[in-house]
Amino acid sequence: MSKPNLVIFDLDNTILKGDSDYSMINYLIENNFLGKSAEKRNEKFMNEYINGKLDMSEYTKFTLSAYVGKTQQEIDEIIRPFIKTIIEPMINVFALKLIHDHKDKGDELLLASATNELIVNPIARRLDFKSAISTKVEFINGKCTGFFLHPLTIGSGKFHAVKSWMEEHKYSNFLGTIFYSDSINDLPLLESVEMPKVVNPDIRLEKIANKRGWEIINLPKI
């Protein structure tokens, strides 16, 4: 019996109408888990991300700084209302329809994000993804250290993480595989799948998609 087609979704600016990490930092500032000085750093990192020049290692340490010394349960208590009040309205209903259409076809769905697992895992549960790839967070003696575990799931790191997941789940190659993404940072994986689908792309990715004849999907953000 053949395996179902694999369909991979990026999260930020693909399923969501914005960036979950960026929004989480603003939420932490507004709720006094981080100081106001974090706002400028957040803007700087986001501009670097948009331009494909982000030092993801530095950014991930920055995004985890509010959780240092906290248990998973304590972190969940911070993130739970964030998912409800901030992430829920960010979910693009048109992206949600794409997800549901693939489920109805019996496809295997995989969420793949560069964002850390503390945020991605509850969003994956909300979206009913059984499998999700994200940047892993280090805990020692039950408490968050503020460090991440390699690999960072951005660029080639996301490609290799997806490849490892595929091997574990008996997918021998990318034939029949679809990947939805908005970002130039996902180019290594977009170049590898059989059917790259570019969603509301950044300028650099749009140019590449047009040149290579990749499908471009412009989802309304309402």
Based on the residue annotation, tell me whether 128 is a catalytic residue of this protein: no
Where would I find the beta strands (DSSP E) of 46-194? 108-116, 132-140, 143-149, 178-181
Among candidate residues 10, 19, 21, 182, the one labeled active-site is: 10
| Token pair in block for residue 101 | 């259409």
Among candidate residues 12, 21, 182, 186, the one labeled active-site is: 12
| 201 cis-preceded (ω within 30 degrees of 0) | no
Residue 7's contacts (CB-CB under 8 Å, 6 or more residues apart) are: 102, 107, 108, 109, 110, 177, 178, 179, 180
> Quick one: angle between helices 20-30 and 56-64, nearest 10?
40
Q: Which residues of 14-35 are buried (b: 16+ CB within 10 A; e: fewer)?
A: bbbbebbbbbbbbbbbeeebbe
Distances (CA, A) of 16 to 76, 96, 124: 20, 9, 12
Which one-letter amino acid corresponds to residue 128?
A: D
Based on the residue annotation, tell me whether 101 is a catalytic residue of this protein: no
- Tokens 């969501």 identify what position? 16
Cite the active site residues: 10, 12
